[in-house]
Chain A
Amino acid sequence: MKKEEQIIQALRQVKDPEVPVLDIVEMGIVRGVEITESQIIITITPTYTGCPAMRVIEEEINQVLKTEGYENVEVKTVLFPAWTTDWLTEEARLKLKAYGIAPPEKVNEVDLNPFNWEEKKVACPFCESMNTSLTSQFGSTACKALYYCNNCQQPFEHFKCI
């Protein structure tokens, strides 16, 4: 395996502290690994600008790579291109669903329009029913919205499409 790939594999040990079933690679937070003569540069991007998890993630990257024997690691943050839920891997989406969080659909016109009154339709991660309703656009963390399933009568979270 190439050294870059080995580092990526090592980075998969770093979980998103707010969605601990997902690692930062499958979330699309890791944007690149660059190996120069003197150092290893890991480029990451925040999910939300105010996301308090970013500092923890940065510390953990340093920790994990140190444990794996890598030295002179630098973590760089970039904002462009802005993170989108479209970067979540298929595997990540399945994990979210198994965890009880409705995964994001592909970002579409409705998501890009701030004035879509008709509520977006989201399938219940427990019973697949489309008979669900939005409780609040803001959930326990910035990346999730709150829904309620009218079929199995359970509240659930939806990973917002951005």
Chain B
Amino acid sequence: MKLDKQTQSDLFDYLLRLGDDRLILGHRVSEWCGHGPILEEDIALSNIALDLIGQSINFLSLAGKVEGQGRTEDDLAYHRDALDFKNLMLVEQPNGDFGFTMVRQFLFDAYSLLLMEALQASELKELAAIAGKALKEVRYHLRHSSQWVLRLGDGTEESHRRVQNALDDLWMYTREMFESDEVEQRLVQKGIAVDSTSLKSGWESMVFQILKQATLEIPGEQGYYSSGSRQGIHTEHLGYILADMQFLPRAYPDAKW
């Protein structure tokens, strides 16, 4: 891969964003393994976690190659600290109840579907290939999460109340998905990255339609929105995930399993 210094550093950063979103969400979802409300959901969530972690392996492994320092996907997952993680704050939020997990998943899946679709046209063919592969899985995830949002939103009084609360709590983390910065813009110019701002209207029409059908109230545009995770700013929750996820390989660097 022949890249100039600036593009190499931008691309490394961009691939970390893509990889970290899926790594952290995959880790979160995997926390349901053995705790699912019914057996089928336990299996479904474990499958989804596995897909997400598989996708993150692809993005992080490519990041390592682009960086050219010999770092593998494992090095990047286990030996970076919170400030170096570039995932959205949305995906690091604790699972809450099952409804909360499904709303978080739904908001992310709709975004991921549009992003993977668009990334298939990337000039960087390795990146386009990973996106095309992930897209098939994301379709299944979105089908699953949107069906649960519908069932719970348009379900009992209690399920409706719970998912409405989840939606209200998570809404402040949604705007970040559609924020762009210099790193991304330079890669957009080169035809490598997707402009995040271009995904907003498609996401809104998809998400709003399901939320309406689910009889849920769409939170207003006003209110506080968090920002900055692409630059390494996170909520307090990320540190705990990393402590859990990174403890073993750091404490026992030669461990094999």
Q: Give the residue name and chain of the A residue nearest to B110 (CB).
A: A114
Interface residues of B in 125-146 (CB under 8 A from A): 125, 128-130, 132-140, 142-144, 146
Quick one: which of A52, A80, A113, A115 contacts B129, CB cutoff 8 A?
A80
Checking A79, A116, A137 against B133 with a beta-carbon cut-off of 8 angstroms, the contacting residue is: A79
Evaluate contact between B132 and A82: CB separation under 8 angstroms.
Answer: yes
A52 to B257, CA, bound (A): 13
Minimal Cβ-Cβ distance residue in A for B138:
A114
Q: Quick check: is B154 within 8 A (CB to CB) of the other chain?
A: no
CB contacts (< 8 Å) of A160 on chain B: these are: 140
Chain B: CB-nearest residue to A143:
B47
CB 8 Å contact bits of A102-145 with B (1 = contact, 0 = none):
00000000001111110000000000000000011111111000
Given the complex, which residues of A lie within 8 Å of B113, measured CB to CB?
A: 114
Do B40 and A146 touch (CB < 8 A)? yes
Interface status of B58 (Cβ within 8 A of chain A)? yes
Q: How many B residues, CB 8 Å from partner?
A: 34
Tell me if A49 and B132 are in contact (CB < 8 A): no
Question: Which of A115, A139, A146: most chain B CB closer than 10 A?
Answer: A115
B contact residues around A140 at 8 Å (CB)? 43
Task: Decide if B125 touches A80 in the complex (CB within 8 Å).
Answer: yes
A47 shortest CB reach to chain B, Å = 10
Q: Which residues of B contact A (CB under 8 A)?
A: 40-41, 43-44, 47-48, 50-55, 57-58, 113, 125, 128-130, 132-140, 142-144, 146-147, 210
Binding site for B on A (CB under 8 A): 46, 48-52, 78-84, 112-117, 135-142, 146, 160, 162
